[in-house]
Structure formats: C-alpha cells, structure tokens
Amino acid sequence: MTDPIIPARVYPAGTPLPPAAGSPPQPSLGPDFVPPWRTPTPPPPPPAAPPPAAIEIHHVHTHIVVAPEPEPEPDGPSIWERLAAWIRPRQTIIGLAAAVIPYPAYGHSLATAWAATLSDARDTGSIRGAYTLAGVALTIAVLINRRRHTWWARTLLATALIGGTGALGWYDPITLLTGVRP
C-alpha cells in the first residue's frame, strides 16, 4: 500500500453521492420515506360510537349549612388586672388606714397594739411563743381575707402583717443559726 490515493472528483457539501458501480438504483428519498424494515404499523380502527341515548336532565338543589365560627375567647386578664383584683385598692387603702391610724382614746393603732403584745410575749415568754402567736394570727387573717372581701378583713391582715414585726428581734438570725442568745 504504498500507492497514494488520488481523488478523481470533489463533491461539494450537500450534493448526493453517485451510486456505486454495479449497485441497484436507489429510490428517491423524500421527506416521507420509510425504509422497508421500518414499515409503520397501521393505525388502530376508530372506536365505535356509542349508540345515542336519551338525555335526562336532573336538577339537584343542595343547601350547605355552615355553623358560624365561634368567636375566640379573649385572653385572660393581664397580670396588672389580676393584681388589681387581688389587691382590691379601695378595701386595701381603707384597711391599711384603719390598721395604722392611732385611735384618740388609746393613742395607739391596731398594728402598734399588736406589735406591743407580741413584744411583751417575746420578753416575758419565749421567742418561739411570740413567733407562733404571730404566725397563727397571720394565718387566720389570710384565711379570713380570702373568704371575705371586705375592708375589715383587710384591716385584720394589715394588722397581722405590720404588728407581726413586734415578734422580730435583731439577734434572731444569730440565735437561729448558732443558738447563742444575747
């Protein structure tokens, strides 16, 4: 193979090639040409039309009843509203005034009289007895105040709270921790 290949002709691009020598003639290829090995399958026959039927018209009337959406429950009262409801400002002011204003006949208020009573109980009796007496009085005042929403229940509570300081002493924490008395 040493012979060089010399082209006899040059065909421009897009020009069909001539048939080879001794080959049968090629059919003209058109846009709808299908090679024989790719024969298309025949299309299926169209479906038979259904027989015409009588047309019946039915009128259906439907009522859709929708329950109204319930209104969302409002959020509970705010913390300030609950605090104001618990404090009951009018009753608290009247109760505090009745507990701390000195009475002209005695010269002392209810709170100072209760504080003096607890201080005497502390001095003559025991420290534990004064605290017990103050704790029982405060518990009873709280229970009455929870049941009765009146000014006099607040007066009892204010008297028990403010007058309960008569049972307190400066050295009580030291005595409680160490057992040493002044």
Say if 45 falls within a structural domain: no
- Model confidence at 15, pLDDT cuts 50, 70, 90, reads confident
- Residue 174 included in any domain: yes
Q: How far apart are CA 148 and CA 170, in angstroms?
A: 35
Average pLDDT, the chain: 84
Host domain of residue 146: 92-178
C-beta pairs of 172-178 under 8 Å, 24+ apart in sequence: 172/127, 175/127
In-domain check, residue 154: yes
Confidence of residue 92 (pLDDT cuts 50, 70, 90): very high
Any domain includes 11: no
Instruction: With respect to residue 112, please indicate whether it lies within any of the assigned structural domains.
Output: yes
CA-based max dimension of the chain: 150
Please state which of the ranges 19-28, 54-63, 121-130, 142-151 shows the lowest mean pLDDT: 19-28
Model pLDDT for residues 36-81, shown as the tens digit of each residue: 677 767 788 888 877 777 878 888 888 888 888 888 777 788 888 8
pLDDT of residue 71: 82
Share of the chain above pLDDT 70, in %: 90
Instruction: Count structural domains, the chain.
Output: 1
Residue 52 lies in a domain: no
Cβ atoms of 179 and 129 within 8 Å: the answer is no
Max mean pLDDT range (31-35, 36-40, 59-63, 133-137): 133-137
